[in-house]
Amino acid sequence: MASERFYRRGSINSLQSNTSDEDMVEIAGAPLDFSLADDVPPLDREPEKEPTVYNGAGMNGASKIMDFFDEPVPGVGTYEDFNTIDWVREKSRDRDRHREIASKSKESLCALIKGLSDAFSGWLVMLLVGLMAGAIAGLIDMASHWMTDLKEGVCLVGFWYNHEHCCWTSDEITFEQRDKCPEWKSWSELLLNQSNGAGAYILNYFLYVSWALVFAFLAVSLVRVFAPYACGSGIPEIKTILSGFIIRGYLGKWTLIIKTITLVLAVSSGLSLGKEGPLVHVACCCGNIVCHLFTKYRKNEAKRREVLSAAAAAGVSVAFGAPIGGVLFSLEEVSYYFPLKTLWRSFFAALVAAFTLRSINPFRNSRLVLFFVEFHRPWHLLELIPFILLGIFGGLWGAFFIRANIAWCKRRKTTVLGRYPVLEVLIVTAITGIIAFPNNFTKMSTSGLISELFNDCGLLDSSPLCDYVNEANSTKTIDNLPDRAAGKGVYTTIWQLALALLFKIFITIFTFGIKVPSGLFIPSMAVGAIAGRLLGVGMEQLAYYHRDWVIFKGWCNPGADCITPGLYAMVGAAACLGGVTRMTVSLVVIMFELTGGLEYIVPLMAAAMTSKWVSDAIGREGIYEAHIRLNGYPFLEAKEEFTHKTLAMDVMRPRRNDPPLTSLTQDGMKVEDMEAIINDTTYSGFPVIVSKESQRLVGFVLRRDIIISIENGRQRQDGIVSTSIIYFTEHPPVQLPDNPAALKLRAILDLSPFTVTDHTPMEIVIDVFRKLGLRQCLVTHNGRLLGIITKKDILKHMAQMANQDPDSIMFN
């Protein structure tokens, strides 16, 4: 009875306890539909009535045996935190729900209307997700632009205007000097009444770094205190969640609020990070919150993940102004289960999000694209050679970055550095600000830098990048300038860009992974854009001075506009982003939607594929897969191939010399026996067999469901004591009249667990786990239970076969 009291007192609390690394079965957590069990009979069949059974109450008479199929029990069928959902069960429940709605809709008009509203609710969810994602993205864009400019000065006519908007209304500026207007004052002009000189420079320098430190400190403090899950990119965790893993709170309202605020602060601090990756996390938070308003999504984890896949597409849509690219990104990169219905709804969500962002018009340019380009000449076939060289550079940079960043993150996890996240953020911010300020190309925002590098120089451009020597007798139009000799400003910017390239390459390694929201898309694109612009300027000057070379003959005539350096920057940006993330199709579509450069798809494709081939030759993992493995998440990558010749018997547990497999018998165990097994083990579920002698498999039952069912049985059924028999059969076992009441738990038994034989090749087992989303399968031989294989067992086995640490898989 002591053990019974211990169990009963701690049973519900024990559901939140951590399971050990040796758990045999994985379970997962989030509220689901409790109304149906796994072995629900057809809707038109009535459950059989139970025969009368005597309990130990003597003359109190018979007590009705309680079946949890008759009445739903709160908690049964739900999942715990840091565990995996049962895709098969969730999809089966949704099919049962659909069948019930379809049958009831024929009975009355009210039921028909209810069925129609259920069918329409999916589109309504997509509409709400798109509206929320677009509105939040517009708010983030406007706030980050204003706060970024706040580090350099303030607008006198309205402090809420950023530099560009402040000067738009001025009547005292020219087009060439459009960024200099009397309404905008730098801090030195405001405080010292001077814009030049050592004192003004030092004050602007000091305030630039100070503002950056203030923004970064606020960001990391808010994340640490209110929402620890708001840090980082979020895409590795989103991929893991979409594969069926449960991380409670990761998509909650506090995470959404804090990530929105701190993303603005982090981007404004000038750190080498972007807001595009975190916007995917923000959009998925919106999707998760909206799901709680609709029962069919709130109570079914598989249905909820369909919404989250569409939300990820909406996130990329508002991040880049690329709705089609967002759908392809969700399909190619983050989604685990992506049926055709989800494709349509993702397209709708991305469309609504893009339309909402366009209505807000945060860039005030009446365009949705982030970096609009307008190149005036087509590319030539021979230019594929430098485009492929950029692809090689992108692949090498991607592989180098992944290895260096993962090594630094491991060091952060295993050293004292990880204990002081605030100090680390402030140090990285201070170093970034101090080094970035003297160089105009690192001082400006990363998005502004990319836009500058993509630009095709015209006669009216005042940027140093466009300081070319103009021929006095040129008759060309502004939009069709010939290749020109580089002026002094171009040569100066080449050195500045080379230093900016080295700075961006190394500082991004230490920035990605700190405890603030940090995206990797824009920093990666910046590295590629700088390298591409440098190569483009070099090719342009070669073509100008050496038109008689073989590679330029026939297509680059004197006075012609042969080379477009901005195009090289665009191709380089795609190459580096592809090298880091290993995206291909979605990357190319995002890039041409991002820039409006539809006719340059072939160069983008060539660079993206070359980048992927080179980076894959060095290491197969992209940055997100590498961080998933670093964090030990149970993610079964669909892109990996298992080529080893091992069998199910080599991976299953128990292995040779291990204790025998813990199992339950279908009708011979008492409540106290079940409680003892639960208290003595940490397994998340148990196979149910006919008897210990036969070892014939009956089904599978989850530990969480057993605990909740016994607790509810004691509260709601008379006569349930420690010596009560528990049975999983249709009819109760024969008992003596003075025995206590029996407890029927057949409703929580999975009567169709997935099984394989001991000689099944592991490549087939792994394929089944991937395609069905299994958490575990049972291993049999001639119908007799031998062992069990869980998702964690498979991941550990794959790690061993790849000569990696199998203990890095930390979660079920």
Q: What is the pLDDT of residue 48?
A: 40
Q: What is the pLDDT of residue 15?
A: 44
Burial of 261 (0-12, 13-18, 19+ CB in 10 A): buried
Question: Left (φ > 0), alpha (ψ -120 to 50) or beta: where does 742 sit?
Answer: beta
Question: Left (φ > 0), alpha (ψ -120 to 50) or beta: where does 463 sit?
Answer: beta
The per-residue pLDDT for range 599-635, each reduced to its tens digit, is 888 899 999 999 999 999 998 889 999 999 898 888 8
**pLDDT mean across residues, the chain:** 83
Q: How far does Cα 620 stand from its chain's mean position?
A: 19
162/153 Cα distance (integer angstroms): 9
* Whether pLDDT at 52 is above 90: no
Please state the rounded mean pLDDT for residues 560-568.
83
Altogether, the residues listed in the chain come to a count of 812
The per-residue pLDDT for range 78-87, each reduced to its tens digit, is 788 788 888 8
Q: What is the pLDDT of residue 316?
A: 93
* Whether pLDDT at 35 is above 50: no
Which residues on neighbouring strands pair with residue 274, listed in sequence order?
519
Backbone angles phi, psi at 295, to 5 degrees: -60, -40
Q: What is the pLDDT of residue 53?
A: 36
Residue 794: closest CA among 765, 755, 772: 765
Q: What is the pLDDT of residue 309?
A: 94
- The percentage of residues in the chain with a pLDDT greater than 90, rounded to a whole number, is 41
468/489 Cα distance (integer angstroms): 8
Backbone angles phi, psi at 499, to 5 degrees: -65, -40
Give the residue with greater pLDDT, 600 vs 425.
Answer: 425
* Whether pLDDT at 327 is above 90: yes
* Whether pLDDT at 16 is above 60: no
Q: What is the pLDDT of residue 63?
A: 41
285/258 Cα distance (integer angstroms): 11
- CB contact at 8 A, 514 and 425: yes
Please state the rounded mean pLDDT for residues 4-23.
39
Letter string b/e over residues 439-468, b meaning 16 or more CB atoms within 10 A of that residue's CB: eebbbbbbbebbbbbbbbbeeebeebbbbb
Q: Which residues contact 232 (CB under 8 A, 6 or more apart)?
A: 278, 513, 515, 517, 518
The three state secondary structure string of 490-546 is: HHHHHHHHHHHHHHHHHHHHHHCCCCCECECHHHHHHHHHHHHHHHHHHHHHHHHHC
Q: How far apart are the first and last CA of the chain?
A: 32
The three state secondary structure string of 349-363 is: HHHHHHHHHHHHCCC
Tokens matching residue 142: 């406007």
Q: What is the pLDDT of residue 61?
A: 36
Q: What is the pLDDT of residue 43?
A: 30
- Band (pLDDT 50/70/90 cuts) for residue 25 is very low
* Whether pLDDT at 211 is above 50: yes
The per-residue pLDDT for range 474-505, each reduced to its tens digit, is 544 445 566 677 778 888 999 999 999 999 99
Q: What is the pLDDT of residue 747?
A: 86
Q: What is the pLDDT of residue 288?
A: 95
* Whether pLDDT at 178 is above 80: no
Give the residue with greater pLDDT, 561 vs 632.
Answer: 632
Which residues on neighbouring strands pair with residue 79, listed in sequence order?
30
755/780 Cα distance (integer angstroms): 7
Element counts in the chain: helices (H) and strands (E): 28, 13
* Whether pLDDT at 365 is above 70: no
789/805 Cα distance (integer angstroms): 19
- CB contact at 8 A, 481 and 375: no
Which of 39-53, 222-236, 541-555, 734-748 is predicted most confidently? 222-236
The per-residue pLDDT for range 251-260, each reduced to its tens digit, is 999 999 999 9
- The percentage of residues in the chain with a pLDDT greater than 70, rounded to a whole number, is 85
Q: What is the pLDDT of residue 12?
A: 40
Residue 612: closest CA among 645, 587, 582, 588: 582
Which residues on neighbouring strands pair with residue 485, listed in sequence order?
469
Please state the rounded mean pLDDT for residues 797-804.
83
* Whether pLDDT at 4 is above 60: no
Please state the rounded mean pLDDT for residues 531-548.
87
112/101 Cα distance (integer angstroms): 8
* Whether pLDDT at 47 is above 70: no
- CB contact at 8 A, 644 and 762: yes
Q: Is the peptide bond before 42 cis (omega within 30 degrees of 0)?
A: no
Q: What is the pLDDT of residue 591?
A: 87
